[in-house]
Structure 1
Amino acid sequence: MSGLWRDGNQIQLLINGEEFYPRAFECIRAAREEVLLETFIIMEDKVGFELQEVLIEAARRGVRVVLAVDGYGTADLGNEYVSAMTREGIKVHVFDPSPRRLGMRTNLFRRLHRKIVVVDGERAFVGGINYSADHLGDFGDMAKQDYAVEVSGPIVRDLHSCTLRFLRPALSEPSPAQPSAKPVGDVRIMLLERDNNRHTTDIEQQYLAALRAAKERIIVANAYFFPSYRVLRALRNAARRGVKVTLILQGQPDMLWVQAFSRLLYNYLLRDGVTIYEYCQRPLHGKVALVDQQWSTVGSSNLDPLSLALNLEANLFIDDRTFNQQLHEHLQKLSAEHCTRIQLERMLRGYWWRAPLVFMCFHFMRLFPAIAGWLPAHRKKLKPLAPPPIEPTSVEPTEAAPCYCKEEKTG
C-alpha cells in the first residue's frame, strides 16, 4: 500500500458547490506561479464558464496553468471553450480520448475520475465535486450533495507530486512551484491513489484496515455503493461485533440502476445489524466515510466496481478528531432530517425473486478484480490540445479553427 502519513497540516471541509467553488476560484485568482487541475467533468454552464474565466485570468498574469480532463466525462466540451484557453497559453490535456461510435461514447472504462486542484504548491483541493451547475442548490431537485476538502501543509507536496507525475508525459518544463514541508497545523493526512499499475487496491485496502479495526462507529456516505465482497464482509463483521455501522446511500438517484444494484445488497447487511439510510432530498454524489473518533476520508472514489477496480482515483485519509467530529455531526444531521431509514421487513418482501440476483452479485463482486483485467486496458495517454492556428489579420480570434477534436492522438 502506497502513501505516507504527513503531520502538520490544516484542513477545511467544503460542502457542495456553494462552499467549494468560491474558495477554489478565490485561490486560483490569487495564484502567483502555477495551477494544476484534474477533473472528470467540465460543463459549459455558469460554473464551467467561471472556471474558464479564472484560469484565463491566471494565465494572463503569467501563471502556468495545466488542466487535465477525462475523455469520457468531458466528451461534449465544445471547441470554442477549449480554444479560448489554449490560445492564452493554458495547457489542456484529455485523458484517453476516443471517438464516438454511432454517437455513443466508447471509452467507458478506466476513466480519469480524480478531482484535484493544486495552487502554487501551497494549497490544494480534493473531493468529488466536478465543475458543473448541478452541484449548486439552485439547479433544482437534481442538484447533487457532495464534498471536498481544502488542505495546506506538507500533504500538498504529495498532491503536487502526484499531479505532476500524472501529467509528466505531456509536460516539457519543470514546475515553477516549490512545495514546502513546513508544518502549518496539527492535522495528520495521507494521500492514496488508485491506478492501473502499482496502486490498484490502495484505497480499498485503507478502507478495509479501518473497517476491520473499528470499535465504536462507522458511517459511510457513498453515491454508488456496490463494493467488493471484502468491503461488504468487513461492514457486516463490524456490525456483528457491536460497532454501530451506518450507511447513507442514494434515495433519489441520478441513475436508477445505481439504487437498484445497491438494494440487492441491503438484506445481507440489514440482517446483521447495519443501519441503512437513503438520502432523499437530492442525488447523493459524496464519497466520504468516518470510523471511530479519528479516521475519516474524502475523495473521488466511490465504493463500486468502476472506482475500486478501473478508474484513476484519489482520496485523502484524515487522522484528526476535530475533522472526524465535524463530518460526523454533518452526516448525523443529514440522516435525521433528509433520509429514510430502510427496514429489514420491507426488504424481505419479494426476497424470493431477488435471492438468485443477490447470489450472482456476491460472486460477481468476489471475481470482479480479475474480470476487470479482461476489460479494455487503455494506455495512460494524454492528448495535448494545441492553440488554434493564427488566421489572417482579417479574421477575429473567436473565429479561429477549433482544436478540440482535430488533434491527432498521442501515446
Structure 2
Amino acid sequence: MAWIGGNRIELLENGEEFFPRVFDAIRSAEREVIIETFILFEDKVGNALADAMREAARRGVKVDLMIDGFGSPDLSEAYIQSLGQAGVRMRAFDPGQQFLGQRLNLFRRMHRKIVVIDGRLAFVGGINYSADHVMDFGPKAKQDYSVALTGPIVSEIHRFVLHAIAVGGKGAGWFRRRIKAAPQAELAPTGDAEVQFVTRDNRRHTNDIERHYLAAIRSARRRIVIANAYFFPGYRLIKALRRAARRGVEVNLILQGEPDMPIVKVAASMLYHHLLHAGVHIYEYCQRPLHGKVAVVDDRWSTVGSSNLDPLSLSLNLEANVVVRDAAFAQELQSRLDRLMQNHCKHVEAADLDEWSGWRLVRSFFVFHLLRWYPSWAGWLPRHAPRLKPVVDPKSTETGAARTDHA
C-alpha cells in the first residue's frame, strides 16, 4: 500500500478527549455520519451518542450506525426504535440467536471503531461507546486511544465504510450511487503526516496489520514501545521482538496489570520468560484496565487502532488501524506512553518470575507451538460472508424481527 501524505492527525486519549470531539462532529455534520463500533451500551455515553445521531438525522443528515451483534447485544427496544423514528439507519454485524441463554457468535466479530463525518473528518481507534471509557466510572475505567484525521486519507476511510455497508447487504448498485453522491474530489492537504489505513478481514487482508507491525519491528534501530491490552501474538512477532532486543533495540511492552479479564494476564505472563531473557522490557499498567492498541517505533513510525495482538484480532476479527509516519505525532504518543511507564506501571524483572520447573517447561513447549500454528488453526473455522442485518430501518415499520435477533 502507498503512503498517503498531507494529513493532520491528532491523538485523543480516553473518553474525556474522544467523546466530546465525536459528538460535536456529529452535531456539526452537514450531509453524512457513518459510525462503526464493536460495543454500544445504553448508558450515559450511549445515550449521548444517540442524542447526537437523532439530532443530526432530524436535520436531514444521512446517519448510518453499524454495531457488532455480539459486542452490543442488550440495547432496549425503546432505544432502537427512537433511533429509527429519527431516521437513523442501524445495522448489526452477524446478529445471533441465544442458545440456553448464551450467545454463540463469538468468532469473526466486527471489532472496528470508525467514524466518518461528511467524508472529510474521520476517527479511528480502540474506544467503544460505553461509560467505562471515562474516568468517573471508577477503578475499572479503561485506558485507551483514538485519533482524529483530516486530509486525503479520509477519502480512503470513507470509501471503506461505504463499501462495508454495501457488502453487508446494500449491494454494489447502492455503493456506486452513494459514492457518486458523496463528495469525491481529492481532499486538500491539512498537515504533513503520511498515513496508511490498514484493515484485517478473512478474505484478502488476513494479516495486513500484523505485517505492518513485523516490518516496523524488524527495521527498528533505537526504540520500540508497544501498549496492547490483549497480548498473545503469533510466533513471528515474538521472534521479531526478541531479535530486536538482542541487536540492541530498546523494546518496551506495556501490558495489563489490572486486567478486565484475568485470563488476559495469565496468557501474557506465559511469554514473560521468553521475552525478558532476550532483553525485552515488560511494564504492567496497574492503575486501571488497559484497553489501548498503540505502538511507536524509532520516533517516526506509529500505529493506533482496534487490533489487539492476540489470536482473535490477528486471525479472526475484522479490525482497522492507521499506520502513521510523522515525527511530531510519534513523539506525542511516545511521551504519553512514557508517562504511563514512569508513573503507573510496574516494571517486571526476571527475578519476579517463578523459577523454571518441569511443568513450566512442558507448558512453554505447548505455548510455543500454539503461537507458531494458531493462524493456520484459525483458518479452519467457518469463513462466512459478513452479514449486516437491519436492526431498524426508518423506511419500514417492520422492526420487531430485527430487534428479536439483536437481543
Distance (whole Å) between structure 1 residues aligned to residue 396 and residue 277 of structure 2:
67
CA apart distance, 1:352: 3.9
CA apart distance, 1:350: 5.5
Q: Give the 5 Å matches for 1:213-224.
A: 213-224=219-230
1:367 alignment partner in structure 2: 373
Residues 278 and 352 of structure 1: is their aligned pair in 2 closer, same or farther, counting only changes over 3 Å?
farther
Gaps of at least 5 residues in structure 2 are: none
Distance (whole Å) between structure 2 residues aligned to residue 295 and residue 148 of structure 1:
16
1:7 alignment partner in structure 2: 5
1:243 alignment partner in structure 2: 249
2:330 alignment partner in structure 1: 324
Residues 62 and 389 of structure 1: is their aligned pair in 2 closer, same or farther, counting only changes over 3 Å?
closer
Letter in 1 for 2:274: Y
Gaps of at least 5 residues in structure 1 are: 392-399
Q: Give the 5 Å matches for 1:12-411.
A: 12-169=10-167, 170-171=169-170, 172=174, 173-175=177-179, 176-179=181-184, 180-349=186-355, 351-387=357-393, 402=400, 404-406=402-404
CA apart distance, 1:142: 0.3
Distance (whole Å) between structure 1 residues aligned to residue 309 and residue 393 of structure 2:
38
Task: Determine helix, strand or coil for the equivalent of 1:283.
Answer: coil
Distance (whole Å) between structure 1 residues aligned to residue 359 and residue 112 of structure 2:
38
1:396 alignment partner in structure 2: none
CA apart distance, 1:401: 7.1
Distance (whole Å) between structure 1 residues aligned to residue 21 and residue 393 of structure 2:
29
Distance (whole Å) between structure 2 residues aligned to residue 39 and residue 293 of structure 1:
30
Letter in 1 for 2:212: Q
CA apart distance, 1:389: 9.4
Task: Determine helix, strand or coil for the equivalent of 1:290.
Answer: strand
**What RMSD over aligned residues (CA atoms) do the two structures have, in Å?**
1.7
Letter in 1 for 2:42: E
Letter in 2 for 1:312: L
CA apart distance, 1:79: 1.8
Contact 2:143–2:290 (8 Å) recurs in 1: yes
Q: Which moved more, 1:322-331 or 1:355-364?
A: 355-364
Distance (whole Å) between structure 2 residues aligned to residue 122 and residue 376 of structure 1:
36
Distance (whole Å) between structure 1 residues aligned to residue 361 and residue 252 of structure 2:
23
Contact 1:389–1:401 (8 Å) recurs in 2: no
Post-superposition, which runs of at least 4 consecutive aligned residues in structure 1 deviate over 6 A? 388-391
Percent same amino acid among aligned pairs?
Answer: 52
How many residues get paired?
Answer: 398
Distance (whole Å) between structure 1 residues aligned to residue 336 and residue 383 of structure 2:
39
Distance (whole Å) between structure 1 residues aligned to residue 369 and residue 318 of structure 2:
24
Distance (whole Å) between structure 1 residues aligned to residue 386 and residue 36 of structure 2:
14
Contact 1:42–1:48 (8 Å) recurs in 2: yes
Task: Determine helix, strand or coil for the equivalent of 1:324.
Answer: helix
Measured against aligned partners, the alpha-carbon deviations of 1:84-104 in whole angstroms (never above 9, x if no partner) come to 111222111111111011111
Contact 1:118–1:125 (8 Å) recurs in 2: yes
